[in-house]
Amino acid sequence: MILPDPAPLLPEIHDEDIIRQVFAHATSLTYSAKDAFQPQSNERLEFLGDSYLNYCITQILFSEFPDLSPGDLSALRAGLVSNQTLNVWARAYDLDKYLVLGVSMAHLQIPEKAEKIIADVFEAYIGGVIISRSQGKELVYDFLTKLVAPTLQQHKQFLDGMSRVDKMAVSRLYEMSVAQKQKLHFDFLDSGVNGAEDRWEAICLWEGQEVGRAKARNQQEAKHRVSTIVVEGLRKDN
Instruction: Quote the CA–CA distance of 212 and 229 in Å, as a whole number.
Output: 7
Catalytic pick from 15, 16, 17, 50? 50
- Active site (annotated) includes residue 43: no
Inter-residue contact 83 to 110 (CB < 8 Å): no
Active site (annotated) includes residue 221: no
Residue 47, burial from CB neighbour count under 10 angstroms (0-12, 13-18, 19+): middle
Give dist(CA 91, CA 168) in Å, integer.
43
Among the listed residues 234, 194, 191, the one whose alpha carbon sits nearest the alpha carbon of residue 212? 234
| 213: phi then psi, degrees, rounded to nearest 5 | -135, 150
Which of 46, 120, 123, 201 is labelled catalytic?
123
H or E element at residue 115: helix 111-132
Q: Mapped to the 3 state alphabet, what secondary structure does 150-163 carry?
A: HHHHHHHHHHHHHH
**Catalytic center residues:** 50, 123
